[in-house]
Amino acid sequence: MPQTIFYLGATGYLSGDVLPLLARDFPEDTVRALVRNPTPARVAQLQALHPRLVVVPGDLNDAPVIVEEAATADIVINSASSDHWPSVRATLEGLEKNAAARPGSPPLYLHVSGCGIISDNIHGEKVENPKFWSDIGLSLEDCEPTNTHLESDKPIVAAGTRKENPIRSIIVYPGQIYGVGNGVQKTTLWLRIFMDYAKRLGYAGTWGRGFNAQNTIHVKDLAEAIAMVLRAARDGTADEGADGLYFGVTPTILSYGEWTRGMGDYLYSKGIAKEPGSKPMPEEIVEPLGHYGWSLLGGNMFAKGDRLARMGWTHPESDKVTLMETLPAMIDAALEDDKPYVHIS
Ligand SMILES: NC(=O)c1ccc[n+]([C@@H]2O[C@H](COP(=O)([O-])OP(=O)(O)OC[C@H]3O[C@@H](n4cnc5c(N)ncnc54)[C@H](OP(=O)(O)O)[C@@H]3O)[C@@H](O)[C@H]2O)c1
């Protein structure tokens, strides 16, 4: 049956690969996309990704708009920000009203978070025996409570497991997403952040010494994972609620030191950086982001995507091309779209 999907973050990098898969798998659905700054050009780009997309003008801080949309949608997908609690709170408020209005047929919420929940907060240092986390048996209560994303994720799981007016909740935790995107935003979020610093400093840098590492995933494989989980949820076969936590990762792990060295070398070869390689960034860059930055960008996050593997998900694009191999193309795309990075949490 055709469904209405309320979508937050449609103009983002990941969404550029997810929206066409929604159109492929559920061509009758309508997508109502919250978009700030809906210029005719951006709207046309979005409708090229999904022909049945309607723009709802609004910002993540427009709680009444989000509540109203979430209260009437069949499905909400949020890949806007894993750290914007006010928009998640408004989404959950709308979804609770929605669930109350249709007992026995609760709405589905698919939220995109990140592996920051399992950071070991190691401040860029070497660690001998890092912990590997599986998503099967994972409880958010086992994560270091000050880690990023948990502020939103815990209430989502609570809404997905409560007795009264429960919703159906699924949270996807991507590793480091790479590849040139297909949508309005072509550049992955972390590259925009580090490019911005590199241009300001004249070199590529790390939080601390950059020995910290995480799993990587090509954006096309992650989009297919999200589509697969959605198909399963609609068939009633997906793990949800307390079990609805999915690491979107491949087994390939890369350190921040290694990829920032590649970035520094490439920017140097183009005359953009003043020196090749990478080195620790100074206090005036890293300290303003405080614990948030150290935890997210200076910690190890070693995940095993056991739940997706159990569903038969594979990662052909990631197997074909590594992050390091595609890094120059990603940097070129970022240089073409020279918008400064704006921190939104
Ligand atoms: N990229 C990664 O490697 C990675 C890894 C792990 C987790 N994640 C998470 O995955 C999600 C998607 O990442 P991404 O790389 O696709 O992010 P992105 O490219 O930065 O996309 C963010 C989207 O959210 C929208 N947005 C941000 N602030 C908004 C506001 N105040 N009002 C309205 N819309 C707003 C942006 O709209 P505009 O176009 O108007 O800016 C854009 O559509 C995020 O939650 C991110 O934290 C990403």
CATH number of the structural domain spanning residue 123: 3.40.50.720
218 secondary structure, DSSP code: E
pLDDT digit string, tens, across residues 4-29: 999 999 999 999 999 999 999 999 99
**Average pLDDT value for residue range 232-251:** 98
230 with 278, same domain: the answer is: no
Residue 87 has pLDDT above 70, yes or no: yes
273 with 156, same domain: the answer is: no
Q: Letter for the amino acid at 192?
A: R
Give the separation between CA 338 and CA 345, rounded to whole angstroms. 21
Please, how many CA atoms are within 13 Å of residue 151, restricted to the half-sphere of its CB? 14
Q: Tell whether ligand 1 has an atom less than 6 A from the beta carbon of residue 333.
A: no
CATH of the domain at 208: 3.90.25
Residue 345 lies in a domain: no
Q: Tell whether ligand 1 has an atom less than 6 A from the beta carbon of residue 278.
A: no
Q: Report the chain's mean pLDDT, rounded to a whole number.
A: 96
**Average pLDDT value for residue range 218-232:** 98
221 with 239, same domain: the answer is: yes
Output the pLDDT for position 338.
Answer: 64
**Average pLDDT value for residue range 190-197:** 95
CA-185 nearest atom, ligand 1: 19
Output the pLDDT for position 343.
Answer: 45
Cβ-contact 203, 264 below 8 angstroms: yes
Among 36, 43, 226, 249, name the best residue to mutate to test ligand 1's pocket (greatest count of ligand atoms within 8 A of Cβ): 36
Residue 345 has pLDDT above 50, yes or no: no
pTM for the predicted model, two decimal places: 0.97
Give the separation between CA 212 and CA 226, rounded to whole angstroms. 27
Q: How many helices (H) and strands (E) does the chain have?
A: 13, 14
27 with 168, same domain: the answer is: yes
Residue 340 has pLDDT above 80, yes or no: no
Write the CB contacts of 240 (distance below 8 Å, at least 6 apart in sequence): 160, 168, 169, 170, 233
123 with 163, same domain: the answer is: yes
Share of the chain above pLDDT 70, in %: 98
Among 156, 173, 185, name the best residue to mutate to test ligand 1's pocket (greatest count of ligand atoms within 8 A of Cβ): 185
Residue 135 has pLDDT above 70, yes or no: yes
Residue 247 has pLDDT above 70, yes or no: yes
Range of the domain at 276: 180-215+252-300+316-336
Q: How far is the CA of 210 from the centre of ligand 1 (A)?
A: 24
18 with 64, same domain: the answer is: yes
Q: Tell whether ligand 1 has an atom less than 6 A from the beta carbon of residue 185.
A: yes
96 with 235, same domain: the answer is: yes
Q: Tell whether ligand 1 has an atom less than 6 A from the beta carbon of residue 81.
A: yes
Residue 1 has pLDDT above 90, yes or no: no
Residue 265 has pLDDT above 80, yes or no: yes
pLDDT digit string, tens, across residues 282-307: 999 999 999 999 999 999 999 999 99
193 with 138, same domain: the answer is: no
Residue 341 has pLDDT above 80, yes or no: no
Residue 266 has pLDDT above 90, yes or no: yes
240 with 95, same domain: the answer is: yes
127 with 196, same domain: the answer is: no
